[in-house]
Structure formats: C-alpha cells, structure tokens
Structure 1
Amino acid sequence: MKFVVSSTELLSHLQAISRVISNKNTLPILDNFLFELKNDELVATASDLESTLITTIPLDSSVGEGVIAFPAKILTDTLKEFPEQPLTFDIDLTSLAVKITSENGVFSIVGQNGEDFPKLPQREESGIVDITVDSDVLLTGVNKTLFATADDELRPVMNGIFIELGNNDLTFVASDAHKLVRYKRLDGRSEVESSFILPKKPASLLRNILPKEENPVKVEFDDKNAFFTLSNYKLICRLVEGNYPSYNSVIPKNNPNVLTIDRVELYNTLKRVSVFSNPASNLIKFELKTNELVVSAQDIDFSISARERLQCEYEGQELEIGFKSVFLLEILSNISSANVMVELSDPTRAGIFLPYDNENADEDVLMLLMPMMINA
C-alpha cells in the first residue's frame, strides 16, 4: 500500500495520540502506532490497553488498503525535523518494510504486523448511555476539576473526575479529600440520569484535543468503558469501577462568615507569604476582622515569618483559620472571576471558595478546602 500525506499534518495528529503511549508498556506492540489505510484516509491508533486514542487524517492520495504497526518514537522524532512538505509512504505488507520519501531523501523503517495490535473494546449496546455535549462545556468541566483529583492507590474512585448526568444539569466533581471542586453546567442536560468516573489520564488527553474541536462531542458509556467521538479523534477508555462518595454531604450548608476579596491580590500575597511557611506543612494563617484580612506564615525552625494586611469586605465574627498554601493557590488559579468569595463557618470546617461574579449564567462553580490546625 502507498499514500501521500503532509508532514506537519501527520506530525500534529501523531503527537496528539502519542500521549497515550506509556513508558512501561507490558506489550512491545504498544510502543507502535497502528496505521490503517482505507478510503483515502489514514486511521492512526495509539493505546496503553486502558486508553485508546484514534485519529483520522485526510490524505493527498493513496493506493491500496491494509494495516501496519509503526515504531512511534522513530516516526515522531523524524517528522519533527521535516519542514512542511508532502511525504510518500510506500509499504510492503509482506515484508513490513516501509520506505518514506521526502523532497530530498529516503528513509527506511521496518514495521510490525498490525494484526498483533490489541482489538478495541466494543460497546455493550444494551446498557449504553449516550449524550451530546458542547466541546467547550466538556473542556471547561475537565479543566476546572482535573487539578483536584487524587493519587490514591487505596481509593481508586478518587483518582478520576466524577461526571454526573442529570435532567437539569451536567456536573463534574473531583476531590482528593483535602480539596473538592464541583462544576455544574445548566446548559448540559441528559434525558437519562446516570454517572461515570473518568480516569485522570484520559481526562488529560481530552484536555489536549478538545481546544481544536468546534463541533459537539458525542459521549457514550456503559459499565466498563467510555467513548468520546470528536470530528477527527475518538477516545476510548476504561472507566474507574466503584461508587463515588456522596460529595454533597461534605459541603457545609450554613456559613455565616463571608469574605469578598480581589482574587489576584490575594493570590500574589499568598505567593510572597508562603515562602516563609514551614516546608513540611505549608501552613498559612488567615486572621479576619471587619473589612481586613491578615495573611501570615512562619517557620519556627529557621526563625522566619511574614505577615501582610489586605483590604477586603468581611461580614461575620472575628476568625482565625489555617489553610495549606499549595492547595489555596491551586484553587485561586482555577477561579476565573476578578473577585473571590470565601464562605466560612468555624476554624474546623471547610472553607467554600466561589467566584464573586459569574461571567456565564449557565456555570455554577464551587471549590472547597479543608482547614489545617493552626497550633499543630
């Protein structure tokens, strides 16, 4: 078989799917891309058994049909060095010899038998749930929650994004037991109420390919796998098995103490003050009084401390509460509004972080952070 393809177009697609390939593959064939040529299109596949990413590349011209596995690293490393030009791939399916012809040279590679590549998971038609989601809704949902997922081998359900389909909204939830993010979209609805847990790796793969997508994304899932169909890509991934914890029960309801402050100003203050915190705990202390926030940190071991005073709007009792600065900075950097609202009840209960002014009326963002003992 033989085909002609643009070097930069091929590289762009292969770089996107190459993120699936693991450095510790148990099967050597998984270090390869699977190329399938049919109907003047090249279908390239990469997999690590848990996740599979497929892309379709339009061709300038092609002859014949067939499948072959290509060494991924050699191919992407070579394509990076080509300027934009047509490349001709001439493949002998009997010997698996591949000849790549550019404007000025010829490159030879030996492929592997494409039949050895693992077969794709098939959908269970009986229990399949499908929904069509705007690409920007899916992208924002993943972006807002991915940072809050856990790395917990004992509780694998916490290592993914919980996606809940409702009649009135679409909800994305992630938590590592220290912080929790709940992102609701009122413009994403499903006829069937259902849910699944999307693992961290396919979520980050989606985050990489969704910005280029202009059309709605078809999402299908059964008990074991999820299938995301985009214009030029298809992602198939194994879901996390198990039941996600009841996240609504950990969100404090009555929070009489409310702080409203400039988000960027607070973020910059935290960056400065956190330098002086204990590296082991990263403890930052908030002292709240009427229209005043004092942010402080100290490291007794090195006799260093920092303290900054900020103007704010604060309604409630005088309060002292501690937070881990690393988590606090992550939360503030993932809220997009100019001002942030922090709702607190007491120093032992979680603080709720909300955007003060929502640019999108269909968005509902809530971030929660557990406090730290100040005198620990």
Structure 2
Amino acid sequence: MKIKVNQRELSKHINIVQKSISSRTTLQILDGILLEAKNDKLKLTGTDLELSIESFIDCEILEEGSIVVNSRMFGDIIKKLENADVNIEVKKTTINIKCENSEFNISGSPGEDYPDLPLVVEKDSFNIPMDMLKSVIKKTVFATTEDETRPTLTGVLVELENNSISFVALDGYRLAFKRINIDSDAETKMIIPGRSLNELNKILDEKEEDLKISIAPSHIIVNLGETVIYSRLLEGPFFNYKDIIRKEHKTTAKVKKQEFQNSLERASLLAKEEKANLVKLSLEGDTLNIKSNTEAGNVFESIETTSDGEDVNIAFNSRYIIEGIKAIDDDEIKLNFMGSLNPCIINGLEDDDYTYLVLPVRLAQDDF
C-alpha cells in the first residue's frame, strides 16, 4: 500500500473512527484502525463489535492495499505532523509515514486479520435533519442508566409511528421523552445503546441537511455521506413508560428556567452525594422556596412563580432535576405536581413534545 493524503483531513477522520474503539477490549487487533486504499479513497474502519465506524477520504493511491495500525499511536502521530501531504507506505507489516521533515516507521498487522463488519439487510429507512437528531440525542441520552444488570435501560427506546419518531430514556429515577415529526411511514421500535448515541452525537454537525438512518433486524446504520456508523441494537423488553406520564396534575407552577436552574445549582453546592444530593422544594402560593441542609450548613433560595392548585412540599436529587431542566430550551418551564410522593413532570412552556419526569425523594413533612 502506498498513498498520499492531506494531514488535516486524515487527522479529522482518524478522530471520527476512534470513537468506535473501546479502551476495554480484550482483542488486541480491535485497538487498531483498518486502513484500506482502493478506488482513489482511503477507508478507515474502527469497531468494538458493538459500534463500528467507516470513514472515507479522497487520496492519491500509488499502490492499493490494507494494514491495521494502532489507533492511539497512529492518531497521535498524524495529529502532530505539519499541515501538509502525508506519504504512507506499507511494506509487509511496517508502516512508513513521511510528512515534510518528519519520518516514522511503526508496526502494523495484516488487514485480513481485522474482523468483518456486520452484514446488515436494510428493513426500513428514514431521513432526519442532522441538527434535529443531535438535539434529540442531547435531550434524552443523559437519562439512560449505566447499570448493566438492566441492559435495555442502558439504551434509548426509539419508536416510529404516525409520521413521528419518539426517543425515550429512563434509569429508574427519571425519564426523558422527546417526539419529533418526520416524513416517513415506517412503523417500528428499537433500543439503541446509549454509548452509540453519545459517540454519534460527537460526530454530528449542527447542520440542517438530512442524513439517512437505516434499520435492520439487529442493527441501525447512520449514513453521513463520507462516514457510516453501524450500531448493534439492544434486545429485550423496555419499561412501559406510557403509564407513568400522567395528564392530570393537582398543582402546576410556571417558573423562569434560568432563574430556577441557578437557584438549584447554588442549593446543590451543600447537597452531598451520600445524602442523595437532596434539595427540598416548598411551593407556597406564587413563591417557590428551595432549601438544602447538611452537616456543612444550609442554604435558602426563593423565586417567584405563577402557580395553580395546592401547595406542595417535595424533595429531589438535585442532579436529576438540574440535568432535566438543562435539556429544555424554553425560557419558561412548567412544573406539574401530584402531591409530594408522585413524580414531578416538567415541560417547556412552548415545547409540548419534550417531557422530563423525575421521582421525588420521600421525606416526612416535618423535614421541610
């Protein structure tokens, strides 16, 4: 293999492909990136057998071929080179890299030793704007769990029906739900691993142009043009979330999002993890009081609201409620309560298609 390729482009695509390489792999070859030079393109491939990424770069090919090179070492070398043409030549399993006045010789492995990517048979597909997908991932994936004993909850449930797509994530303490309209008559549901969505989100640009998502029986394929991402889907039943998103509320309070978020963040400075990051909310008429008290001290915040219904005393893990509020784009939000023991449902005042639900921490009324 012998090629000439632009340093900046190569570094960008290495960075993309590295997102599929796990630091916990037990197979040494999966620490590597497969380089394949063919048809005036250099194809880079990375995989951990769950998430796979292919990325293509235009290059000048003097001799076709393939090699597997250690991802971290190769990425570090290319990143530090001058922004100029990089000449890469492979002889047996030695890779010679030249750029301006720099020259490296490093060891690789035969390309044929690299595992094949999954052969997927497309069942359905739809298009979605890139910036919209990036936004919906950001609003939901944070609510997945990292508890491997509940594998389906480590992913996001994606449901297509009635020309809309819904993303649902929950971890047993909170739930994030976002629905968007799309031009597709596909009807299906799948669970996409949270890690795959997090890595995809790092690759997506804030562009309005469409990307294509294809669905196979056990995989999802996201086609960005010069980059293609394959992710294995999670198998198993997902929690029946529709039963817990209630429509009726005893109390509704409207607050300015940023003011509420700032108050919660200040109150959480004294909340400690061993005490479940506890913050207490007391809604009294059109005033919302926010309190936290630990051995370190106590804090009291008060903000104005517009409320309707009964007064409420309720407590939350501050991290869970803050993360949900941060995901809402509206300037004002609605807090919907059904007493102190039931979940609080939070919506933006303008966006009815995003719902965040958080379970309270049970406290005796004397504790408020």
Deviations 1:39-76 (A, max 9, x none): 111000011111111101111x2122222111212111
Any conservation in 1 of the 2:250–2:339 contact (CA below 8 Å)? no
Which letter does structure 2 place at the counterpart of 1:343?
N
Secondary structure at the residue paired with 1:206? Answer: helix
CA–CA distance in structure 1, aligned partners of residues 55 and 296 of structure 2: 57
Any conservation in 1 of the 2:132–2:208 contact (CA below 8 Å)? no
- State the match for 1:87 in structure 2: 86
1:113 aligns with 2:120: no
- State the match for 1:38 in structure 2: 38
TM-score by length of 2: 0.95
Q: What is the Cα deviation at residue 278 of structure 1? A: 4.4
Correspondence list, 1:266-281, <5 A: 266-280=260-274, 281=276
Moved more, 270-279 or 255-264: 270-279
- State the match for 2:280 in structure 1: 285
- State the match for 2:353 in structure 1: 364
Secondary structure at the residue paired with 2:176? Answer: strand
Any conservation in 2 of the 1:261–1:313 contact (CA below 8 Å)? yes
Deviations 1:299-332 (A, max 9, x none): 1xx2622111111111111111111111111111
CA–CA distance in structure 2, aligned partners of residues 39 and 123 of structure 1: 23
Which letter does structure 2 place at the counterpart of 1:108?
N
Which letter does structure 2 place at the counterpart of 1:370?
L
1:231 aligns with 2:231: no
Deviations 1:114-156 (A, max 9, x none): 001011111135xx22222221222111111111001122211
Which letter does structure 1 place at the counterpart of 2:173?
H
Q: What is the Cα deviation at residue 110 of structure 1? A: 2.1
- State the match for 2:47 in structure 1: 47
CA–CA distance in structure 1, aligned partners of residues 23 and 335 of structure 2: 42
- State the match for 1:56 in structure 2: 56
CA–CA distance in structure 1, aligned partners of residues 228 and 296 of structure 2: 55
Q: What is the Cα deviation at residue 212 of structure 1? A: 6.1
Deviations 1:165-204 (A, max 9, x none): 1123110110001110110002x14312101100011111
Secondary structure at the residue paired with 1:43? Answer: strand
RMSD, aligned α-carbons: 1.6
- State the match for 2:140 in structure 1: 145
Which letter does structure 2 place at the counterpart of 1:368?
L
- State the match for 1:353 in structure 2: 346
Q: What is the Cα deviation at residue 214 of structure 1? A: 5.5
- State the match for 1:19 in structure 2: 19
- State the match for 1:338 in structure 2: 331
Correspondence list, 1:129-144, <5 A: 129-144=124-139
1:260 aligns with 2:249: no
TM-score by length of 1: 0.93
Moved more, 313-322 or 61-70: 61-70
- State the match for 1:374 in structure 2: 363
Secondary structure at the residue paired with 2:246? Answer: coil
- State the match for 1:249 in structure 2: 243
Any conservation in 2 of the 1:252–1:349 contact (CA below 8 Å)? no
Any conservation in 1 of the 2:42–2:56 contact (CA below 8 Å)? yes
1:190 aligns with 2:179: no
Inter-CA distance 170–258: structure 2 relative to 1 (3 Å threshold): same
CA–CA distance in structure 1, aligned partners of residues 206 and 97 of structure 2: 28
Q: What is the Cα deviation at residue 270 of structure 1? A: 1.0
CA–CA distance in structure 2, aligned partners of residues 225 and 79 of structure 1: 32
Query: What are structure 2's unaligned runs of at least 5 residues?
Result: none
CA–CA distance in structure 1, aligned partners of residues 199 and 265 of structure 2: 30
- State the match for 1:311 in structure 2: 304
Report the identity percentage: 28
Any conservation in 2 of the 1:252–1:350 contact (CA below 8 Å)? no
Moved more, 115-124 or 130-139: 130-139
Any conservation in 2 of the 1:53–1:233 contact (CA below 8 Å)? yes
Deviations 1:237-271 (A, max 9, x none): 11100121211111122113111111111111111
Secondary structure at the residue paired with 2:363? Answer: coil
Any conservation in 2 of the 1:285–1:374 contact (CA below 8 Å)? no
CA–CA distance in structure 2, aligned partners of residues 139 and 25 of structure 1: 28
Matched residues, number:
364
1:176 aligns with 2:171: yes
Deviations 1:16-47 (A, max 9, x none): 21122111212111111101111111000011
Inter-CA distance 145–260: structure 2 relative to 1 (3 Å threshold): same
Correspondence list, 1:3-18, <5 A: 3-18=3-18
Deviations 1:248-297 (A, max 9, x none): 11112211311111111111111111223343221111111221111111
- State the match for 2:100 in structure 1: 103
CA–CA distance in structure 1, aligned partners of residues 46 and 346 of structure 2: 39
CA–CA distance in structure 2, aligned partners of residues 2 and 176 of structure 1: 49
